Amino acid sequence: MKKMSRSCCCKFGVFLAASMVLMSSVKVDGDPIVPALCIFGDSVVDVGNNNKLLTLIKADFPPYGRDFAAHKPTGRFCNGKLATDFIAEYLGFSSYPPAYLSKEAKGVDLINGANFASAGSGYYDQTAHLYGALSLPKQLEYYRDWQRQVVDFVGQDKADTIISQGIHVVSTGSSDYIQNYYINPLVRSLSHDQFSDILIKSFSCFIQNLYNLGARRVGVTSLPPIGCLPAAITIFGQGSDHCVTRLNQDAVAFNEKLHAASRRVKAELPGLKLVIFDVYNPLLDMISDPADDGFAESRKACCGTGLIETSFLCNKLSLGTCRNATEYVFWDGFHPSEAANEELANKLLEQGYQLIFN
């Protein structure tokens, strides 16, 4: 069990107040607070779409999922729940949005939303193409299919309400840097300013397309401190055990552009509620002062050596895998543990009130 930190009482008070507001808003008949939750992005939010793809970026084998329901892997890049799983629970959903390519994504189970995310995807289409992942345009294509199915189930009028009042979460961008820009000489010829502009243009286009399809409540995560990911330190840290400053500087610069682009998009699209969720600072706090949040380790991940393993490198034969992942900020070299995801979900909940209530 995680120890209560010196900041825990304050955080618990904020979360308890937020939870009480949310719980008081859940309808008596057990309906969730919002009619649907649709999720787009990369491995941080993929719940199994890559299981069905011809790609090396998968998490449908042990020890992934060892702390999830039934202790079985699902395709989540985590030992248990993702931040979006916790968010679904907080919003009152009785189940998580299913991976759109999975066998669970059928019938009435789709009315409350779906997950279109794909590990290895990014704002830059070529990132997804490099790894056989679903690009954002492809995810949007599946989203259109989802809308058509909802219309078939409930009719156009009710479907329009589900779509406009449902929450759409977009979490991507890290793969564009770690798995493309920093290692691909064809892209590395671009300055960071040029590359980030390409990503921002893609972001703006994606939000415009969502809006054109009826979405009005959209939450987009910022880049995390990519220079602090265990594998990033190992690969780019030149022997150091500390966060790679230049990578974090790139993330900060991108996030500043993301906020500016968000303001422009909102000014151009009437009725759009668009929130940029700050993931960078909450995760950096956990990494910098892990004990404050009840963690013992933030440099190494739980799986294997904790220095680089992810996807097939993180497997049931990986030597050194920890027994208690709640003590670790990271589960594998790139992805937070369930315990860290819960902390992040609480922060996103605090930041996203206007998507739910206004």
Nearest CA to 167 out of 346, 343, 352 is that of: 352
Residue 43 bears catalytic tag: yes
Query: Out of 42, 43, 168, 311, which one is annotated catalytic?
Result: 43
Report the pLDDT value the prediction gives residue 222, as an integer from 0 to 100.
Answer: 98
Tokens 């010829």 belong to: 189
Query: Out of 46, 85, 121, 335, which one is annotated catalytic?
Result: 335
Domains belonging to the chain, first-starting first, are: 31-357 (3.40.50.1110)
Report the pLDDT value the prediction gives residue 358, as an integer from 0 to 100.
Answer: 66
pTM: 0.93
Report the pLDDT value the prediction gives residue 107, as an integer from 0 to 100.
Answer: 85
What is the C-alpha separation between 106 and 109, in angstroms, rounded? 6
Query: Out of 196, 318, 332, 337, which one is annotated catalytic?
Result: 332
Residue 193 bears catalytic tag: no
What is the C-alpha separation between 122 and 202, in angstroms, rounded? 9
Residue 85 bears catalytic tag: no
Q: Please, what's the b/e burial string for 126-150 (b: 16 or more CB within 10 A of its CB; e: otherwise)?
A: ebbebbebbbbebbbebbeebbebb
For the stretch 244-284, pLDDT in tens is: 999 999 999 999 999 999 999 999 999 999 999 999 999 99
For the stretch 225-235, pLDDT in tens is: 999 999 999 99
For the stretch 85-94, pLDDT in tens is: 999 999 999 9
CA angle, 345 then 53 then 171, to 5°: 25
What is the C-alpha separation between 280 and 226, in angstroms, rounded? 9
Taking all residues of the chain, what is their mean pLDDT, rounded to a whole number?
92
